[in-house]
Structure 1
Amino acid sequence: MRRAALTAAVQIAAACVTAQAAAQVVSDQPDAVAVTIYREGTAARPPRGGYVYFGDGGLALITETRTVDLPAGRQRVSFRGVADGLVPETAALEGLGGEAVERNYDFDLLTPGSLIQRSVNERVRLVRTNPTTGTVEERDAIIRSGPQGVLVQTADGVEALGCSGLTERLVFDRAPEGLTDRATLSVAIDVLKPGPQTLRLSYLATGFNWSADYVARMAPDGRTVDLTGWITLANSGGTTFENAPTQVVAGKVARDRATRAPGARVTGTFPACWPGGTTSDRVEISGLIGANRVEYEGPPQVVPGVASDEIVVTGSRISRMAFMSELGDYKLYTLPEPTTVAARQSKQVQFLDQRRVPAERVYLYDLAADLAGGDRYVEGRPTAVLRLKNEARAGLGRPLPGGTVSVMQTDAARPVLAGLDSLSDTPVGLPVELELGRAVDVRAAATLVSETHVVRKGVGRVRSEVEVVLVNGKSVPVRLELAHPAAPAEGLRVVSETRLHFVKDATPTWSVELKPGERLRFRYAVEARSPVRNGR
């Protein structure tokens, strides 16, 4: 009787545990997805060596729509294929016919390194191929350490994988628990209303970025430019978002720097032969996922924030341009049609096409920077800049998100790069100045004619008289602007001059029109505060 009662109690307890255990419901991919990218700095740039580097500072707001069929009771819903840069604490799930109990983010991805790491002391098969004879040898082995310096134990003893000089691979009978081929967010739910349900999952993810890239094509006479702008999207993660309505936000969004994605762990394999690299560093870990064994060939191992030659750069040039709208204090650019934001890829979509924008080439020379060294005579080459007015009446009048500008001019019917400069976020009404480089045929020289120190009411001041010589060696007229900047604390002011100046950015500036071959000379004197000498 007591035995029967005990058996009944065990059965009831087992039934309760079964009732509390969450059944598994898998959503393999979203029905629809939308992507909004917030930038940080610039997007992908091709540094030396042919590699493309993706900074991980940008963010994306991912909104997924998924349909799942939920039975009654506690269910664990696994959303597979979320971004591998997902920030778990930002995930929000709407449309639930029940209450969420807990969430888990599985980001330890199935890679050659993680496969070895979780298979230490497990049995595998070691397959070696002699590249000369083609002979294939397969033997049992036990992984003793890895993935950085993989040691396997065979009947002949312990040896380092990848150091035999032969092509080698490991064959695994199963995939270890806890590894996933795609980042997965799982939610335990107490389902109150069973049946098919449409859920909306939204979250922030790192590993995305965007930039604005411009091309300014100068007319042969140099008086106008055709300005085109392209939005460059960058996805350095391993998740592709198919046919997604995509937007980018211009402006710097406030962020909590402590909020970071755990990041999909991508573990590589590194042979550790002695002496290093003197025999072989070639290891193949094959992989076709079968019913009863795993032979892993592995996806490209790309770590966000690390250079990779697996990144594909494409240009998606479509007839319609991205259009701009207001988003509070930001500008929102919406791509004209859904696009695929592919893993480890950047693409371009045009957002600006302004023709015949009036432009002026001006030469700028900062005199005080040269005189600061204490020399009484300085000579230098002014910087050529291309100046545009960001106004509607001047053919522009568009908010310009910061980015890189390539200035091209035509020579013998072929475009030639005239300069490459960065542009900060520029609202309507502010001028645009693009640095082209140092002038060759335009020169500026200055002589410090006199320097006098005086004390007035306990305040020391220094008066400097400067003579300037400007030379235009070009065959066309030029305009040169000479500036004499100083720190605000110095209280610089012009006390005499033979040519009138104007103030630009709180700096006395002289604008001079020089004819072809002209040499021009003028003087001015400035006064600024200085330390009192000898207590006077």
Structure 2
Amino acid sequence: MKFMLLFVTLLALFPSVLSAQDIKNARLVVQQNGQALVTELRPLTLPKGEGGVLLPDLPGTIDPQSLQVRSRTAPRDLDIRDLTLDDDLLTPANLLRRHLGKQVTLIMPDGKTRDGRTRKEATLLSVDEAPVFLIDGTVYAGPYEAIIYPELPKGLSPRPRLAMNVHNSGPARQDIELTYIARELSWRMDYVLAMNKAATSGQLTGWVTLQNRSGANFTETHAELLAGEPRSAQQFSPRAMFAAKAMSAPESMDAASAPEELFEYHLYRLKRPVTLANQQSRQVQLFDSRRLDVSRKLLGRANALPSGREAEPIKERLDAVISFRNAEALGLGLPLPKGTLRAFQQEGETKHFLGEAPVERTPVGGLVELRLGQVFDINVERVALEFERTGKNSYRCTWELRLKNAKKTPQRVVLQELVPGDWKVHSASQKWSRPSAGVLEFAVDVPAATEQEPHLVRYTFTTEL
């Protein structure tokens, strides 16, 4: 990268400028949508009467419009007149802009050998699109390896800074509370289900992964996890000036306290403070359940209205679906946040990965149903025996479903035929049900070893769209 050498040089020359300061005495309410409400307490020395105060080291992803500032020590004695966010950050683009019309040094290919390099003194003429330089009296817009700047411009900061104009009639030393929304702070939920060989029971564990890409370090921070989806009106740009009035490696920790309802969401409080550095992920165990009863079914789902072009049998794959109840008697009984579940089969000391599936938000007492993968030894072939248009928007159809079971034991298969319109079944080779308005369902017991002579299900229906 062209600017890699630049930043390596700056890190060596200005380590104290570029090092991010930790944010202490903070509380995070982290959402799953990539943002968090941050409340931090900073002890500051304030001027008497009118004056200005600088608060450095804010997260680079701060939402300026969400910022609120107040004094915890003497709220009635501190009048915050206005706030100014200075986010002229130390970036390659800002360095180029600040050196427009000035002299810099370019590291360039020497044009003699493939790996040869040379240094050229150049004047920066333009920063629109690709930079344009004046070198030895000629205009140059070609390739270069790096830019070496003669100095670090004043005012550039590695992180946004907040300037406050205040009128203070209280003590000089006060605790100032900052509340704001920061992006690139999020959490996700991961579930691990270790099932027995028969897949009839298992052990469910819930892990939270906290991710910090905000540009700030949070040390010994009290974290809360908000499960739900608060609406965000719009994306923000941190490059703004405004005025306002005050208003790593996985670590096993204690489980969270019992969740609390917050508006139409749920809030999980971690029992221990967490340290979360910038560009770091950290895992926290949310819960570990006791024995969990698991149900399994083999599910096929297909459209029942043919296209009229079915010349050959249609091969249909079955899904392996597991389900369990979010019940307190099974060791759960807390609202389950949305996340990803990974299922394993436990045989002694050996675990085998069975698949993963998304988990939707599930209240207490709700059913969790997961499709882990496709069934290997049971196949379905669909043959359209009849497809007749009986009116402008009405049809008559007959299907033959050929089920083949290569297992040594009989298997129950659930086939769901998706039927549109106002439909009626005229004949069926076995019992069927209507679990919902557009679903015709067969629960089929397929005998063992039917890979040569398939087990047949045939039905005829009419529908008016």
TM-score by length of 1: 0.70
1:26-425 correspondence runs (5 A): 31-40=24-33, 58-95=34-71, 96=75, 97-123=77-103, 142-146=123-127, 149=130, 163=144, 170-173=148-151, 175-257=152-234, 260-262=236-238, 314-323=248-257, 324-368=259-303, 371-372=306-307, 374-375=309-310, 377-393=313-329, 396-410=332-346, 414-425=350-361
Distance 1:31 1:77, change over 3 A: farther
Aligned residues: 425
* Alpha-carbon distance in 1 for matches of 2:138, 2:394: 85
Secondary structure class of the residue paired with 1:367: strand
* Alpha-carbon distance in 2 for matches of 1:158, 1:62: 49
Secondary structure class of the residue paired with 1:89: strand
1:348: how far off?
1.6
**Counterpart in 1 of 2:16?**
none
Q: Verify the 8 A CA contact 2:66 2:181 in the aligned structure 1.
A: yes
* Alpha-carbon distance in 2 for matches of 1:395, 1:373: 51
* Alpha-carbon distance in 1 for matches of 2:202, 2:325: 12
Name the amino acid aligned to 1:408: F
Distance 1:207 1:168, change over 3 A: closer
* Alpha-carbon distance in 1 for matches of 2:279, 2:88: 18
TM-score by length of 2: 0.80
Distance 1:347 1:389, change over 3 A: same
Q: Verify the 8 A CA contact 2:78 2:168 in the aligned structure 1.
A: yes
Secondary structure class of the residue paired with 2:324: strand
Name the amino acid aligned to 2:374: R
- Per-residue CA deviations over 1:326-359 (Å, capped at 9, x if unaligned) read 2231111222211122212222212132243222
Distance 1:373 1:39, change over 3 A: farther
1:156: how far off?
7.7
Secondary structure class of the residue paired with 2:96: helix
1:153: how far off?
5.2
Let me know the Cα RMSD of the aligned residues.
3.4
Listed as ranges, the gaps of 5+ residues in structure 1 are: 1-27, 41-57, 265-313, 531-536
Name the amino acid aligned to 1:437: G
* Alpha-carbon distance in 2 for matches of 1:450, 1:128: 74
Higher strand share: 2
**Counterpart in 1 of 2:449?**
517
**Counterpart in 2 of 1:503?**
434
**Counterpart in 1 of 2:399?**
466
Secondary structure class of the residue paired with 1:117: helix
* Alpha-carbon distance in 1 for matches of 2:128, 2:289: 54
* Alpha-carbon distance in 2 for matches of 1:59, 1:105: 19
Listed as ranges, the gaps of 5+ residues in structure 2 are: 1-20, 241-247
1:186: how far off?
1.6
* Alpha-carbon distance in 2 for matches of 1:476, 1:219: 19
Q: Verify the 8 A CA contact 1:34 1:63 in the aligned structure 2.
A: yes
1:409: how far off?
2.5
Q: In percent, how many aligned pairs have the same letter?
A: 27
Distance 1:263 1:494, change over 3 A: farther
Q: Verify the 8 A CA contact 1:127 1:171 in the aligned structure 2.
A: no
Secondary structure class of the residue paired with 2:372: strand
* Alpha-carbon distance in 2 for matches of 1:191, 1:430: 55
1:182: how far off?
1.9
Q: Does 2:408 correspond to 1:475?
A: yes
Name the amino acid aligned to 2:209: T
Q: Verify the 8 A CA contact 1:124 1:170 in the aligned structure 2.
A: yes
Secondary structure class of the residue paired with 2:294: strand
Larger radius of gyration: 1
